[in-house]
Structure 1
Amino acid sequence: MKKNIIIIGSGIGGLGAAALLAKSGHNVTVIEKNTTLGGRANIFKAEGYTFDMGPSWYLMPDVFEHYFKLLNEDITEHLDLVKLAPSYRVFFSGDNELPIVDIYSNLEKDLPLFEQLEPGITPKIKEYLKRSGEQYEMAKETFMYRNLGFSTDFLKWRIIKKGIELNPFQTMQSYLNKWFESDRIKKILEYTLVFLGSDPAKTPAMYNIMNAIDFNMGVYYPKGGIYEIVNALVAIGKKHGVTYKTSAPVTKIVVEKKRATGVQFKDGSTLHADTVISNADLWFTETQLLDTPYQTYPERYWEKAVVSPSAFIMYLGLNRKLDVLSHHNLRFGADWKQNFKELFDAPQLPNDPSYYICKPTETDPELAPPGTDNLFVLVPIPPGLTISEGAASTYRQKILNLMKTDLNLPNLEDYIVYERCYWSDDFKRDYNAYKGTALGLAHTLKQTLKRPLNYSKKVKNLYYVGAGTSPGIGMPICLISAELVYKRVMNIKASKPLKQL
């Protein structure tokens, strides 16, 4: 039966769910509070520079391909994908012996470097990545596309046994310590946890599958920028009749007789629906859009939750090229553990932070005026910090000073002709993000095994999609979330990836 479905929020999960449900014949309306679609995968242009505002890594190409095939679409007709080589460049702060290394996500190319960092490592790293690859495929086939609480076979010994094989009760830090001795190699293998917003000392070892994603599949980039993914999802949605409404903040989910019946806007008007799916921040959805009796995850849940870091971001337009940088660049602070402590245990602006620089003009020079670069500089900072204007200005200068040293660019500030900074309060304002988190709930053991469900326990016909629910954080993971909520709405009990709609 054809339903009228409202999706609140137009992040990757919301756009992904909209296209799937519309292709299946439903009337779908996506409602976005901001002027542009995409959620955190946003974009802006200024003075000839084009900046992706949020996600910048295209990982898990198999998940993207699977999603587009579900819609009977050829991904190559929508995205012009380039495999990066190197995948990323690493700067080791204070390391005089080997301050800069390139990682190619090609084991044969990377092995000489690994041998230099830890002689005799070749058989270990090959076995480690082989196991990571096997665990990734097992996780994808057994858990990632499974709606928790929807299938009794989740309790069968076969499923439990496969879960145990993923090392859920061991941390990534302890798991890597058993495999490798080189601190630099362990940092390279742990960096992907930043995408999960987690501390390696608290993240389940099952996330070693991220290393298989990195080294076995590589890192890609869609020409034109990450926002081309948003454009593709919107184009497919329009093809199947999705309606998109921007500049339309929702103030309430209308509930009648414990059923979601629509949404209310700031001017008091309402829009009816048979089903409501929220892709808005889950904290905002539960505590701000629903009255107290209808909250499955009230404030007391969030007070105990572990939230991923926020971010200090600089969008920089330069008047020249910087050859020292690759497309993706990671600067690792000297005291790795102290950096994570300042992010999670004793919250403060990190003193010697690890940070990330994206230079998309390395691959896509058309994103800036001829002969120039644009930079996306991201420093993870603790969520929930109150930062004064003076402190923000001081920290901005600190990061620029670090960049001048790390990149050996003493005149860096003279090259900057455009600058925009983005902080925790901006995440709160633009995305209603709890504590200004840049990502959502961290992937701790508890929040991996008991991530919020993608449906309301208190309100019928109310569902959730995106990073706040299962399976978690990241663009490809949000596309899996879209498929999961599609299964939930359509009452499909398949526990594996769908073959077709």
Structure 2
Amino acid sequence: MKKKIIIIGSGIGGLGAAALLAKSGYEVTVIEKNANLGGRANIFEAEGYTFDMGPSWYLMPDVFEQYFKLLDEDVSKHLDLIKLSPSYRVFFSNDEELPIVDIHSDLDKDLPLFEQLEPGITPKIKEYLKRSGEQYEMAKDTFMYRNMGFSLDFLKWDVIKKGIELNPFQTMQSYLNKWFQSERVKKILEYTLVFLGSDPSKTPAMYNIMNAIDFNMGVYYPKGGIYEIVKALVSINKKHGTQFMTNSPVSKIRVENKKATGVLLENGTVLEADMIISNADLWFTETHLLEKRHQTYPEKYWEKAVLSPSAFIMYLGLDRELEVLSHHNLRFGGDWKQNFKELFDTPQLPEDPSYYICKPTETDPDLSPAGTDNLFVLVPIPPGLTLSEADMASYRQKILNLMKTDLKLPAFEDYIVYERSYWSDDFRRDYNAYKGTALGMAHTLKQTLKRPLNYSKKVKNLYYVGAGTSPGIGMPICLISAELVYKRIQKIKTSKPLKSL
């Protein structure tokens, strides 16, 4: 008889784990509290505009290819991937000399810009990206696909040596200061840390590998939007027999004799299983779905955790096209360090924030009515803030005023024909996110090296997958997390990416 597995939550990690296990012969059921599958990779349509609600960058194409190959699938058969050029556009606020620059993820195209920003930089940036690429391959081959706590391999000198080569005890800020002088260059190389929800002054220098991902691989977009990834994973799951239950919040993980035996839904339904994998927010899983005596990571653990930012998001439908914007757009605030201080050290709504605008209609005009654009505007804000309606209205207006100035469009508000806002409380409500964080735990040194394990130490046959556990935040990283929990269940001890199931 097939062993039954219940997966709580249908984010990228949950869907990824479900497909691997279903293909390997398990009877898998995915239970989702919301109406849509996909977790934070959600979607909605309104008045002819289609909005991806969460992730918007397709990075690390090699990881997607690796994952799909495990399932005997060709990623190109599921996703129509378009390589963006430029990869993104950067707006330097209050910079009269060079207010707008394009980054192409093609060093031949980008070198003239870098030389303009820092004359004589060419040999340094080439060497920097070469090393970043080597470290990325090393990390992928040695650490990313390794289950923490699974073996004593970390005590071997060759592994320790490789770990030291990744500069884990330097911060990204200090590491970049040794390479470059231009503050604008350093901002361009640090922005990727936003995807990790981290402050460059506290993030290990090992994450310079993000620059290799950016500049050596490029940025892609799946035609139709990021939700096409969710559709692909759901399709593969159904092919292998995975069952789905939506609008079905779980109220409790059932434990008998220190062993997970099933779940209790909020409607009173009891579902039995041989194993449980939670892709729900890890804080919520541990502190709400388990009794205290069964918690590996109780409330006191989370009180000490460093969280990534929450976000203020605006989904905007415009009545026209905006030529000033590319597909991905980054606005860097004038005081970079103060911005991070407001996000992590003295929590408050940032005074001069860095923010991000996605205009998917630059690449995919079918996402809005002809001759119009839709925008996804994201401003990182601290988690856990208590905001009044007046606070939110005032900050919304502040961001719109900044956009008018940055984009040199004084009538910008008049172009908006559809608007929806999304705040910390929405992340709490929709995803049970601790303190409304948009991403989860930040990638500080401690929370990189000692991220929560992907299994419970207190309850047998209870596992975890997704951004809350190893390796961490991001869609491709969550697919690696899916492979790791698969290895854990199957008792596969290799630190290499799997080549077959």
TM-score under structure 1 length normalisation: 1.00
Does 1:469 find its partner at 2:469?
A: yes
Cα distance, 1:416 vs. partner?
A: 0.2
Distance 1:199 1:152 in 2: 31
Structure-1 residue corresponding to 2:338: 338
Aligned ranges 1:144-223 → 2 under 5 Å: 144-223=144-223
Which residue does the alignment assign to 2:420? 420
Q: Once the two structures are superposed, what CA deviation does each residue of 1:17-66 show, in whole Å capped at 9, x if it has no partner?
A: 00000000100000000000000000000000000000000000000000
Q: Confirm or deny that 1:231 pairs with 2:245.
A: no
Shift of 1:267: 2.1
In structure 2, the residue corresponding to 1:293 is in which secondary structure? helix
* Residue correspondence of structure 1 range 123-138 to structure 2 within 5 A: 123-138=123-138
Q: Aligned partner of 1:161: which letter?
A: K
Instruction: Give the Cα–Cα distance (whole angstroms) in 2 for the partners of residues 181 and 311 of structure 1.
Output: 30
Alignment RMSD: 0.5
> How far apart are the structure 2 equivalents of 1:244 and 1:268?
18
Report the AA paired with residue 305 of structure 2: A
CA distance in 1, matches of 2:289, 2:186: 43
Q: For 2:189, what is the secondary structure of its paired residue?
A: helix
The 2-side partners of 1:494 and 1:6 are apart by 25
| Superposition pairs of residues 72-87 of structure 1, within 5 angstroms | 72-87=72-87
How far residue 2 of structure 1 moved from its aligned partner, in angstroms, is 2.8
Match in the other structure for 2:27: 27
Counterparts in 2 of 1:26-425, with a 5 A limit? Answer: 26-425=26-425
Q: Helix, strand or coil: the match of 1:161?
A: helix
Structure 2 residue matching 1:430: 3-state secondary structure: helix
Alignment partner, residue 496 of structure 1? 496
Q: Give, in whole Å, the separation in 2 of the partners of 1:198 and 1:42.
A: 23
Deviation sequence 1:362-400 (CA, Å, 0-9, x none): 000000000000000000000000000000000000000
Whole-angstrom CA distance in 1 between matches of 2:186 and 2:287: 39
Cα offset for 1:198? 0.2
Partner of 1:9: 9
SS in 1 for 2:136: helix
Q: Secondary structure, in 3 states, of the residue corresponding to 1:397?
A: helix
Question: How many residues were matched structurally?
Answer: 501
Letter in 1 for 2:397: Q
Q: Amino acid of the residue matched to residue 332 of structure 1?
A: F
Q: Compute the displacement of 1:268 (Å).
A: 2.0
Q: Provide the secondary structure at the position in 2 that maps to 1:114.
A: helix
Q: Structure 2: how far apart are the matches of 1:5 and 1:151?
A: 25
Deviation at 1:491, TM superposition (A): 1.0
Other-structure match for 2:479? 479
| SS of equivalent residue, structure 1 residue 91 | strand
How far, CA to CA, are the matches of 2:319 and 2:103 in structure 1?
28
**Amino acid across the alignment from 1:47:** E
Structure 1 runs of 4+ off > 3 angstroms?
none
Query: Aligned partners of 2:158 and 2:31: how far apart in 1?
Result: 41
TM-score for both structures, normalised by structure 2: 1.00
Deviation, 1:291, is 0.1
Take 1:21 and 1:439, find their aligned partners in 2: how far apart are those partners?
25
What's the secondary structure of 2:254's corresponding residue? strand
Q: Which amino acid aligns with 2:75?
A: I
Give, in angstroms, the shift of residue 155 of structure 1.
1.2
- Helix, strand or coil: the match of 2:314? strand
Secondary structure at the counterpart of residue 20 of structure 1: helix
Q: Secondary structure at the match of 1:398?
A: helix
